[in-house]
């Protein structure tokens, strides 16, 4: 089994992925963590080589992880930009959906690994990017879960029920 979590920055993909993988006894991978392990900090990659270069690394890492089985994969919020075709082929892609206010509150003090939110009006940028990407998240996913005002455990349980994987 292979479960992939997609959604905007700050919706909780990493924390939920960790809990979900434990509950289902699956391995856990996070595309951002894999990128940082192999290529250094996301902040530095963006600063030294730019977003396009980061997207290349992200695509490369995703393609190597999804070859594996029995795992939960948390993805970076922009993974859908380049990889919607690959994601559409998978059977258990979960869109974690949250509103701008909630996302803003989750990440306003945590922009270090999110260079796209540097030197700008964070809330406005979240709104613009979320609008741009929303259809992509919907089109690659098999189920959508509302992530605001719920605990990580509650969301994990909802994913399990909706996917029917226990």
Residues lying near ligand S3P in the complex (CB under 6 A) are found at 9, 13, 32, 42, 76-78, 113-116
Question: Closer to ligand S3P at the Cβ: 46 or 157?
Answer: 46
Question: Closer to ligand S3P at the Cβ: 138 or 161?
Answer: 138
| CA dist 66 → 2, 10, 54, 95, 117 (Å) | 8, 22, 18, 17, 28
Question: Closer to ligand S3P at the Cβ: 92 or 113?
Answer: 113
Name every residue whose Cβ is closer than 8 Å to that of residue 79 and which is 6 or more positions away in sequence: 6, 31, 58, 62, 87
In the complex, the smallest distance separating the C-beta of residue 115 from ligand S3P, rounded to whole angstroms, is 6
In the complex, the smallest distance separating the C-beta of residue 95 from ligand S3P, rounded to whole angstroms, is 13
Q: What are all long-range contacts of 60-66, with beta carbons under 8 Å and residues at least 24 apart?
A: 61/31, 61/34, 61/35, 62/31, 62/86, 65/29, 65/31, 65/34, 66/2, 66/4, 66/90
E strand or H helix that includes residue 74: strand 71-74
Question: Closer to ligand S3P at the Cβ: 125 or 165?
Answer: 125
Give CA–CA dist 36/50, Å, rounded. 15
In the complex, the smallest distance separating the C-beta of residue 16 from ligand S3P, rounded to whole angstroms, is 11
In the complex, the smallest distance separating the C-beta of residue 74 from ligand S3P, rounded to whole angstroms, is 7
Question: Closer to ligand S3P at the Cβ: 55 or 165?
Answer: 55
In the complex, the smallest distance separating the C-beta of residue 76 from ligand S3P, rounded to whole angstroms, is 2
């Amino acid at each position: 089994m292979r479960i992939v979590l997609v959604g905007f920055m700050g919706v909780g993909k990493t924390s939920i992925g960790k809990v979900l993988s434990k509950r289902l006894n699956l391995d856990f991978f996070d595309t951002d963590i894999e990128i940082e392990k192999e290529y250094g900090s996301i902040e530095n990659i963006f600063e030294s080589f730019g977003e396009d270069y980061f997207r290349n690394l992200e695509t490369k890492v995703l393609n190597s992880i999804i070859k594996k089985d029995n795992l939960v994969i948390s993805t970076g919020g922009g993974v859908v930009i380049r990889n919607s075709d690959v994601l559409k082929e998978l059977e258990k892609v979960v869109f974690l959906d949250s509103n701008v206010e909630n996302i803003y509150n989750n990440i306003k003090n945590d922009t270090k690994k999110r260079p796209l939110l540097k030197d700008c009006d964070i809330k406005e940028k979240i709104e613009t990017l979320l609008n741009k990407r929303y259809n992509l998240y919907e089109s690659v996913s098999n189920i959508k879960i509302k992530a605001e005002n719920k605990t990580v455990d509650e969301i994990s349980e909802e994913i399990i029920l909706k996917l029917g994987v226990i």
